[in-house]
Structure 1
Amino acid sequence: MRFLFPYPPFTSPRRQGGFARALGALILGTLAACGTVPEDAAPPLPPDTAAVPAQLPAIEQPRSRWVPVPWDALPGWQADQVGLAWPALLRSCERPAPAWAEVCKEARALPMPDERSVRDWLQRRLQPYQVQNRDDGRPDGLITGYYEPLVDASREARGAYRVPLHQPPADLGQRQPYWSRAELDTVPAARAALRGREIAYVADPLDVLVLQIQGSGRLQVTERDGSKRLVRVAFAGHNQHPYRSVGRWLVDQGAFSLEQASWPAIKQWARANPTRVQQMLHVNPRVVFFREEPLLDPTIGPVGAQGVPLTPGRSIAVDRESVPYGTPVWIDTTEPLLQPGAPARPLQRLVVAQDTGSAIVGAVRADYFWGWTEGAGEYAGRMKQPLRMWALWPRSPS
């Protein structure tokens, strides 16, 4: 489980959840280009899937209502390369919910799936439902983004590397809530509880904050003998304090406007105000603790709340009371704007619900996993767009 961005870093964090295997074609910066299917690769809807089956009822979830719709109600359905989501779906089939047991068995048996066969299988075997708010039937919501940061670190405190990442203290479960961030920095008894729990040291305290908000990350560690090793730090617990946004605090301080708030803006403020960085960090009392994991295959990301790795560009975190883990979801939103005034580009694609987060709450709410390649943090930190989404659920056997 992790603790990741639900909103850009300047608002509020999100989770304790996870990540997955990157597809070779899914490289950040080319996500939109990879999403277009040649016209001859997208067959028309089969006649028996073009309309909603007669008398098909809505599905009631604890926090959402799913209304059945025809496939052509999904904006951009014929334009996405749905085959790129197939590995993510198969990942979820490693831990299928009861309703998916037979469907997953069929999916794993699909011989040599290509774009056409995957699309045809999805349309014949699954039924789309628009996800709506259970109280008022509204289909509109919010999508944000998260990623897996890469941070340089040292196994021992030396030079600029003085800011520790900690394992859970031995007495974490004995004090509820545990010491706050400010107390862990200043109270002798709190500092003593962390002594000897250091995993590694980083140079920038904001890198620690990023790792704690994301809940997982990669460390390029310089070992004591001078060798370098790539490892992962994964969520292992927190101090039970609420998250408070340092970005929101900076907005309230007049450092910048809410529209200007981003990680680059926060870092720029920190560079200009080094004596106030600790004051800013103490605004957020929550501290996340980590465990170190070997990273034998750098193409595999952290594990999400479903218990399977996430796929960049094809995995999302959801409110599990609105959308169960393992559900394929069609999202209709736009890419984050990296340049003010630039036209918004549609982001319409098939993803799979494989993660969750403490701030991912609501019927139409998702956190989009951008992966770990260069630029992922920029996209994730600026993603806060309107969202509509459709859940794809197994059809009843005919």
Structure 2
Amino acid sequence: MRAALRRFGLGASAAAVWLCCAMSAPAQVLSFEELEGWAEDDQREALIAFQETCSLLKAPEWGPLCALAADAGDSPQSARAFFELFFRPLIIGNPPALFTGYFEPELNGSPFRTPRFAYPIYAKPPELQNGTVWHSRAVIEGGILRGRGLELAWLEDPVEVFFLHIQGSGRIRMPDGRVMRVGYAGKNGHPYRSVGQEMVRRGTHTPDQVSAQTIRHWVRSNPGPGHALLETNPSYVFFRKLPDLPAHKGPIGAMGRSITTLRSLAVDPAHNPLGAPIWIEKAGRDPMHRLMVAQDTGGAIKGAQRADIFYGTGDAAGEAAGTIKDGGRMVVLLPIDQAYAMMPDG
């Protein structure tokens, strides 16, 4: 097992965490025939997304696979054959999965504070070290960073600032039409707490009523209590400008490369390795059976059968992503020897 972990290209500390979680979660190798909808999906799109980050996978087994992926052809049949020849599907953990959605917001903003644009997003303070716990959301929004020149932009709605933190990236349209793209730069080290779960705990809503749209509406309708509600999540995200990111490319994920609409997935890397293809079978009102790639992470994404689906950019993507809270199944595709090494007797 430890040799298999080293082949994933993980560092020593990351391998130790992955080993602990992987050994504690049951694993089962499947055949491709057992994946519902596999033959109907167009795996070409997943193959393109896989190639976006494949070169970052430094383990020996991935190098040849990346080279083969580049020559896999451009037909659905050749893309499907590539995955079937060199990978094996593996269930890690116990379904049902929990799928949610995220997106890249498009917001109006200003490079300067104005009466309309009065709510800042900040660059990471230089004294904040990764992995350390800093001031909470309430303290930061109370003005502790004011006057330090760390404001990247000013937005018109504190609720949209909050949700920009949740999404981790965005496009901000300035009054002159210029678009600033921002991405995740760090966080304050406090654990993420779900505002939706807090609403359920307080009895204002039932679990089936909670969605991003519900939270937005309630906070805007109840400004005082709503602001206090948002502060129950002490986690706070800092941003960086992305001036060289082309408009047609998706936001930057946890692997440092652009992610792809409806083909990129945020996962818990303690259970599912970043860069690996993952087959999802999402239930709910709009079922989804497709091959995706684990290219991102999130503070609320914990567990082997937990994932956030990237729905794209803009309001329509936000509407779609904000209503997703569905069960189903996640199946990771691993190189053949790695898949069998994950088995209890591997």
TM over 0.5: yes
Return the letter of the residue paired with 1:285.
P
Task: Give the 3-state SS of the residue equivalent to 2:74 in structure 1.
Answer: coil
1:372, distance to aligned residue in structure 2 (A): 0.9
Measured in 2, the distance between the counterparts of 1:350 and 1:384 equals: 19
Measured in 2, the distance between the counterparts of 1:184 and 1:322 equals: 32
Contact 1:63-1:363 within 8 A present in 2 as well: no
Superposed, which structure 2 residues align to 1:150-169 within 5 Å? 150-169=106-125
Return the letter of the residue paired with 1:105.
A
Measured in 1, the distance between the counterparts of 2:316 and 2:121 equals: 24
Contact 1:63-1:321 within 8 A present in 2 as well: no
Change (3 A) 1:200 1:107: same
Measured in 2, the distance between the counterparts of 1:92 and 1:186 equals: 39
Quote the residue 2:66 is aligned against: 104
C-alpha deviations, 1:270-322, integer Å up to 9, x for none? Answer: 33222333322322222211111115521212222223221110111222232
Change (3 A) 1:362 1:267: closer
Quote the residue 1:142 is aligned against: 98
Larger relative helix fraction: 2
Return the letter of the residue paired with 1:103.
L
**Are 1:388 and 2:337 matched, yes or no?**
no
1:230, distance to aligned residue in structure 2 (A): 1.0
Measured in 1, the distance between the counterparts of 2:75 and 2:308 equals: 28
Return the letter of the residue paired with 1:69.
L
Measured in 1, the distance between the counterparts of 2:145 and 2:293 equals: 41
Quote the residue 2:37 is aligned against: 76
1:113, distance to aligned residue in structure 2 (A): 1.8
2:299 to 334, 337, 358: 358
Task: Give the 3-state SS of the residue equivalent to 2:252 in structure 1.
Answer: coil
Bigger radius of gyration among the two: 1
Superposed, which structure 2 residues align to 1:294-373 within 5 Å? 294=243, 296-334=245-283, 344-373=285-314
Measured in 1, the distance between the counterparts of 2:106 and 2:130 equals: 32
Measured in 2, the distance between the counterparts of 1:61 and 1:175 equals: 23
Change (3 A) 1:296 1:327: closer
Contact 2:213-2:322 within 8 A present in 1 as well: no
Superposed, which structure 2 residues align to 1:194-343 within 5 Å? 195-222=148-175, 227-294=176-243, 296-334=245-283
2:82 to 121, 128, 135: 121
Contact 2:131-2:189 within 8 A present in 1 as well: no
**Are 1:379 and 2:320 matched, yes or no?**
yes
1:220, distance to aligned residue in structure 2 (A): 0.8
Measured in 2, the distance between the counterparts of 1:247 and 1:209 equals: 13
Contact 1:167-1:289 within 8 A present in 2 as well: yes
1:209, distance to aligned residue in structure 2 (A): 0.3
Measured in 2, the distance between the counterparts of 1:333 and 1:156 equals: 43
Task: Give the 3-state SS of the residue equivalent to 2:80 in structure 1.
Answer: helix
1:207, distance to aligned residue in structure 2 (A): 0.8
Return the letter of the residue paired with 1:352.
V
Identity of aligned residues (%): 37
Measured in 1, the distance between the counterparts of 2:228 and 2:238 equals: 21
Contact 2:254-2:295 within 8 A present in 1 as well: yes
Change (3 A) 1:245 1:65: closer
The normalised TM-score by structure 1 is 0.73
Which of the pair has the greater relative contact order for Cα pairs under 8 Å at 6+ separation? 1
- Structure 2 regions of 5+ residues with no counterpart? 1-20, 338-346
The normalised TM-score by structure 2 is 0.83
Quote the residue 1:181 is aligned against: 137
- Structure 1 regions of 5+ residues with no counterpart? 1-59, 336-343
Task: Give the 3-state SS of the residue equivalent to 1:244 in structure 2.
Answer: coil
Contact 1:132-1:140 within 8 A present in 2 as well: no
Contact 2:181-2:245 within 8 A present in 1 as well: no
Measured in 2, the distance between the counterparts of 1:155 and 1:347 equals: 40
Contact 1:97-1:326 within 8 A present in 2 as well: no
Task: Give the 3-state SS of the residue equivalent to 1:294 in structure 2.
Answer: coil
Task: Give the 3-state SS of the residue equivalent to 1:123 in structure 2.
Answer: helix
1:248, distance to aligned residue in structure 2 (A): 2.8
Task: Give the 3-state SS of the residue equivalent to 1:275 in structure 2.
Answer: helix
Return the letter of the residue paired with 2:74.
P
Task: Give the 3-state SS of the residue equivalent to 2:104 in structure 1.
Answer: coil
1:75, distance to aligned residue in structure 2 (A): 0.7
Return the letter of the residue paired with 1:100.
W
Task: Give the 3-state SS of the residue equivalent to 2:293 in structure 1.
Answer: strand
**Are 1:132 and 2:92 matched, yes or no?**
yes
Return the letter of the residue paired with 2:206.
S
1:267, distance to aligned residue in structure 2 (A): 2.2
